């Protein structure tokens, strides 16, 4: 198995990405080959500075960089030799089993849809976030930003995608799927959630347990929580903000330490023909390591193929 990592993406590139790749390589212990994609001279120099032989990794030269200031759609065509564009080309050709990056999120989404294509039957691909539950379990929240405006059929598909992710990557045999809403009653909510509730309740593809209020997001009552990307992004940023406030005030708590993004590394783009993992732009070496390990986990599960099978 080969896992590609964009060495040029992110606020602390290339140092954090190289360090993260080295850490991940030690943990994988030969289960996968990590492919470093970026400026070859810069990569080799960075490895030598760390007393790492460049033969430990495969290197693909990609001298251009898509920055956070580049327009996502135009960047891939204007910078065909960028680490992101080259990574997607390698993934599309089957030279990689997964591709991960902490670079421009928009470019990663565009590349996923136009370089790999959306799985037939999927209306809109989406991204998730893994939230820590108080009971020690993990809850998948989706969508968290890629689809701000949604219709009921889109949210229904998010429920199916989230359930497949939970089942095959988190190893939950029958994931409990909930709809994020302002009340538990079937009649509560806006036009979108009321219509979505009806679709989810009538489905035999998922284990739908009903509406879930915001106060129960971290309770462990659901394995998958479905919402539109606008709502999901607000929830995610609020959770990140609470964690940051606690750190600033010197408050240490075992449960809230699990909110640290470093623990999760990245999230897959669900609904595309390939395994693509997006990491946080401020990722340090630990977060990059975990992003690569999660890419290996997702690729090993055959998630993209299982999603394809479920929709076709």
Domains 1-122+271-312 and 123-262 agree in fold: yes
pLDDT at residue 90 greater than cutoff 80: yes
Under 8 Å between Cβ of 71 and 85: no
pLDDT at residue 228 greater than cutoff 80: yes
Backbone angles phi, psi at 16, to 5 degrees: -65, -35
Residue that is written with structure tokens 């299982």 in the block: 306
3-class secondary structure, 36:
strand
Cis bond upstream, residue 143 (ω within 30):
yes
| pLDDT tens-digit map of 162-200 | 999 999 999 999 999 999 999 999 999 999 999 999 999
Distance of CA 307 to the CA centre of its chain: 15
Whether CATH 3.40.718.10 fits 1-122+271-312: yes
Tell me the C-alpha distance between 240 and 73, whole Å.
Answer: 28
- 277: closest CA among 264, 297, 291? 291
For the chain, the structural domain boundaries read: 1-122+271-312, 123-262
Quick one: average pLDDT of 293-301?
95
pLDDT, position 147: 93
pLDDT at residue 203 greater than cutoff 80: yes
| pLDDT tens-digit map of 46-56 | 999 999 976 88
pLDDT, position 166: 97
Residues 6+ apart with CB under 8 A from 238: none
* pLDDT-derived band at 262, boundaries 50, 70, 90: confident
Task: Pull the structure tokens for residue 130.
Answer: 């893994």
pLDDT at residue 158 greater than cutoff 90: yes
Task: Pull the structure tokens for residue 308.
Answer: 């394809």
Tell me the C-alpha distance between 295 and 299, whole Å.
Answer: 6
Helices vs strands, H then E, count in the chain: 10, 11
Considering the domain 123-262 in this protein, what is its CATH number?
3.40.718.10
Backbone angles phi, psi at 194, to 5 degrees: -65, -45
Quick one: average pLDDT of 63-76?
90
CA angle 151-159-192, nearest 5°?
Answer: 25
Backbone angles phi, psi at 105, to 5 degrees: -65, -40
- 103: closest CA among 220, 1, 188, 16? 16
| pLDDT tens-digit map of 31-43 | 899 999 999 999 9
Percentage, residues of the chain above pLDDT 90: 87
Distances (CA, A) of 226 to 66, 191, 218, 223: 31, 15, 14, 10
- 144: closest CA among 221, 66, 238? 238
Residues 6+ apart with CB under 8 A from 144: 127, 128, 129, 229, 232, 233, 235, 236, 267
Tell me the C-alpha distance between 62 and 9, whole Å.
Answer: 12
Under 8 Å between Cβ of 173 and 204: no
DSSP secondary structure letter of residue 122: -
pLDDT, position 190: 95
Quick one: average pLDDT of 107-136?
94
pLDDT at residue 287 greater than cutoff 80: yes
pLDDT, position 41: 94
pLDDT, position 273: 94
- How many CB atoms lie under 10 A from the CB of residue 308? 17
What's the mean pLDDT when you consider all of the chain? 94
Backbone angles phi, psi at 70, to 5 degrees: -75, 145
pLDDT at residue 134 greater than cutoff 90: yes
pLDDT, position 127: 95
Quick one: average pLDDT of 54-79?
91
Nearest-Å Rg of the Cα atoms of the chain is 19
């Amino acid at each position: 198995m080969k896992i590609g990592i964009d060495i040029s993406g992110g606020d602390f590139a290339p140092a954090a990405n190289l360090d993260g790749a080295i850490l991940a390589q030690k943990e994988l212990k030969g289960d996968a080959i990590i492919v470093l994609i970026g400026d070859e001279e810069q990569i080799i120099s960075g490895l030598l500075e760390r007393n790492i032989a460049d033969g430990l990794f495969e290197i693909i030269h990609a001298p251009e960089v898509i920055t956070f200031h580049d327009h996502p759609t135009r960047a891939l065509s204007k910078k065909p030799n960028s680490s992101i564009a080259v990574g997607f080309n390698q993934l599309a050709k089957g030279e990689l089993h997964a591709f991960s990056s902490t670079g421009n999120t928009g470019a990663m989404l565009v590349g996923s849809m136009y370089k790999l294509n959306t799985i037939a039957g999927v209306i809109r691909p989406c991204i998730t976030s893994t939230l820590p539950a108080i009971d020690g379990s993990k809850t998948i929240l989706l969508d968290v930003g890629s689809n701000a405006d949604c219709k009921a059929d889109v949210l229904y598909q998010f429920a199916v995608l989230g359930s497949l992710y939970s089942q095959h990557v988190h190893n939950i045999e029958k994931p409990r799927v909930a709809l994020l809403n302002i009340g538990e009653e079937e009649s509560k909510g806006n036009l979108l959630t009321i219509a979505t509730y009806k679709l989810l309740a009538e489905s035999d593809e998922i284990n739908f347990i009903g509406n879930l209020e915001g106060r129960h997001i971290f309770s462990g009552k659901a394995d998958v929580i479905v919402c539109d990307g606008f709502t999901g992004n607000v929830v995610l940023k609020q959770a990140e903000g609470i964690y940051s406030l606690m750190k600033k005030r010197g408050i240490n708590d075992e449960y809230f330490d699990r909110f640290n993004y470093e623990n999760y590394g990245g999230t897959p783009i669900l609904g595309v023909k390939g395994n693509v993992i997006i990491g946080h732009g401020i990722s340090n070496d630990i977060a990059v390591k975990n992003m690569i390990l999660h890419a290996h986990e997702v690729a090993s599960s055959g998630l993209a193929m299982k999603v394809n099978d479920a929709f076709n």
